[in-house]
């Protein structure tokens, strides 16, 4: 849970930092405590045999500063023995965010992970791959939504889970 919380807390700060103009953030940003969970998602109960459930990250979010994100939910993917295999964060941008701008996206992606992101195409979707601490990380955008899939480095079905996650439309 501590890892889940830390992942969720990163994103609002990250999005705020990548906005470019600080005044833009101050004028239109959302305080961490005001970021709400996503109202609906169509995540199945299981994916690739892993149990999928929504995690409570509200406490972690309250620590966040102003951001372009108005709603965020984090989902865990666990084996039957409860071992965490992956998390998926889905965040919804405010309408004032320039989330359709390539520069906005690239700046945001560059702040995720510890290696230079690699752009790949999977099922017609642009996905940025990077790595974190013992994790593989995939980042993509769908309309006003940002997706960040973080998987254990030893999870053997990394790409299959990503391909299924790409089908999720909040």
Binding site for other proteins (CB under 8 A): 113-115, 118, 120-124, 126, 129-134, 136, 153-154, 156-160, 163
Q: Which is nearer to other proteins, 59 or 103 (CB)?
A: 103
Q: Could you give the CA distance from residue 106 to residue 99 in angstroms, rounded to a whole number?
A: 10
Q: Which is nearer to other proteins, 96 or 164 (CB)?
A: 164
Classify burial at 81, counting beta carbons within 10 Å of its beta carbon; exposed 0-12, middle 13-18, buried 19 or more: exposed
Helices and strands (DSSP H and E) totals, the chain: 5, 8
**At its nearest, how many Å lie between other proteins and the CB of residue 160?**
5
Q: Which is nearer to other proteins, 98 or 159 (CB)?
A: 159
Q: Could you give the CA distance from residue 44 to residue 140 in angstroms, rounded to a whole number?
A: 19
Question: 69 and 101 in contact (C-beta within 8 Å)?
Answer: no
Q: Which is nearer to other proteins, 93 or 104 (CB)?
A: 104
3-class state of residue 26 by DSSP: helix
Residue 35 structure tokens: 């970021």
Q: Could you give the CA distance from residue 104 to residue 77 in angstroms, rounded to a whole number?
A: 29
**At its nearest, how many Å lie between other proteins and the CB of residue 96?**
27
**At its nearest, how many Å lie between other proteins and the CB of residue 115?**
6
- Single out the residue of 37, 67, 74, 83 nearest to residue 53, CA to CA: 74
**At its nearest, how many Å lie between other proteins and the CB of residue 23?**
28
**At its nearest, how many Å lie between other proteins and the CB of residue 140?**
13
Q: Which is nearer to other proteins, 60 or 166 (CB)?
A: 166
Question: 168 and 90 in contact (C-beta within 8 Å)?
Answer: yes
């Amino acid at each position: 849970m501590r890892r889940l919380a830390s992942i969720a807390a990163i994103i609002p700060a990250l999005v705020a930092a990548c906005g470019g103009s600080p005044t833009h953030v101050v004028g239109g940003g959302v305080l961490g405590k005001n970021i709400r969970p996503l109202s609906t998602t169509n995540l199945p109960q299981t994916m690739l045999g892993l149990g999928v459930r929504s995690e409570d990250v509200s406490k972690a979010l309250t620590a966040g500063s102003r951001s372009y994100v108005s709603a965020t939910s984090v989902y865990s993917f666990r084996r039957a023995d409860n071992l965490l295999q992956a998390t998926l964060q889905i965040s919804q941008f405010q309408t004032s965010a320039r989330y359709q701008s390539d520069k906005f996206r690239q700046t945001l992606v560059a702040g995720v992970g510890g290696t230079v992101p690699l752009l790949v195409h999977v099922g017609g979707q642009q996905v940025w791959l990077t790595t974190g601490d013992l994790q593989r990380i995939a980042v993509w955008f769908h309309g006003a939504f940002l997706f960040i899939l973080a998987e254990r480095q030893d999870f053997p079905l990394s790409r299959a889970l990503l391909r299924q996650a790409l089908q999720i439309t909040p």
